Structure 1
Amino acid sequence: MDNLIIDTDPAKLDIAYMTAFLSQTYWAQGRSQAQMQQCVDHSLNFGVYLQGSQIGYARVVSDTVQFAYLMDVFIDPLHRGKGYSLQLVDYILQFPELRNVRVWRLASNDARGLYGRFGFTPLAHPEKMMERIRP
């Protein structure tokens, strides 16, 4: 489809582009380029490219057996509505190192329909979940 390429090579990522986009989102507002680089350095990264230019991104933090957390998923607004996010999530869930992960988690205010297509549901037992957020 449109020569879309999904690549896990972090050297190909456009950190400045990703920072500019993600630092404006509700989930990563204000993230600096140095922080974005640190996120990349400690994640399995999925760059999305069309005709040689990066148009999207996602990353996974995982032990590759029990748990994986999908985060920072985006497709540039200029390229939305073409099924690229579906291809990206499918690629990630079928990725060899992640294919057998037992528990996947993510957080989303606006893409629940997308993730629901892949079997993501609200937490079965949210009362068991805890979090710690630094101010």
Structure 2
Amino acid sequence: MPPSSPREWHKDSYTLTTCPSAITPEVLNSFFATPEIYWAQPLPVSATQSLINNSINFTLLLPPTTPSSSSPAPREAVGYARLITDYTTFAYLTDVYISPVHQGRGLGKWMIRCVSGVLDEMPHLRRSMLVTGDWEVSVPFYEKAMGMRCIGEKLEGEGRLDRGLAVMVRVGRGSGSWV
């Protein structure tokens, strides 16, 4: 069942929120256009809005700024992750991104800990999973940060004979193999 209200976490001056309106299709498409999100390309605005509407969004925001007027300016999104889920037994983590300007501050680890906390609150979750093509950095990161494990062998992918996609999984409390 979808969460009834958005969640928020705070670290230093940053806020991480699950409020869907914290990210616009235009901003998310600007993330998709970066070289860091090598697996995606910008989508039509209506398609991007649909993926926002049908996911648990984790948007990393800068602190609010107060312009000369009395109302604060909109907060700038500098990071993002999303879970595609049935809210009961399965969740797929994708589109994890931190703007390069804000990397190196522990924000990625913190954001993934928050995502893990949401997953841990799903009592019937059997599995969460993700796919990455980055064996050197992302695989060890998700193993350590989330307890993810690779399943199977390195798969051949997209003409790269020596490298493929890492399919990673974490067993949840709803699985018969939960320890």
TM-score over 0.5 for the pair: yes
Matches within 5 A, 1:97-116: 98-100=121-123, 101-110=125-134, 111-116=138-143
Q: Which residue of 2 aligns with 1:119?
A: 147
Structure 1 residues not aligned, in runs of 5+: 128-135
Counterparts in 2 of 1:91 and 1:68: CA distance versus 1, 3 Å:
same
Q: How many angstroms does 1:108 deviate by?
A: 1.2
Whether the 8 Å contact between 1:15 and 1:33 is mirrored in structure 2 is yes
**Structure 1 counterpart of 2:129, which letter?**
R
* AA aligned opposite 1:113: P
Aligned to 2:39: 27
Q: What residue number does 1:17 align with? A: 27
Does residue 63 in structure 1 map to residue 86 in structure 2?
Answer: yes
Other-structure match for 1:94: 117
Same amino acid, percent of matched pairs: 27
The partner residue of 2:12 within 2, 25, 30 is: 2
Go from structure 1 to structure 2 and tell me whether the alpha carbon gap of 1:14 and 1:121 turns closer, same or farther (over 3 Å shift): same
66-75 vs 44-53, which moves further: 44-53
Residue identity opposite 1:80 in structure 2: Q
Deviation of the 1:4 alpha carbon: 1.6
CA deviations over 1:5-43 (Å, ceiling 9, x no partner): 111111121321210111343211243332211110111
Gaps of 5+ in 2: 1-10, 64-74, 156-179
Give how far 1:60 is off.
0.6
TM-score normalised by length of structure 2: 0.63
Counterpart code for 2:88: V
Q: 50-59 vs 82-91, which deviates more? A: 50-59
Residues paired across the two proteins, number: 127
Per the normalisation by structure 1, the TM-score is: 0.81
Structure with the bigger RCO (C-alpha within 8 Å, sep 6+) is: 1
Structure 1 residue 77: deviation in Å?
0.9
Partner of 1:85: 108
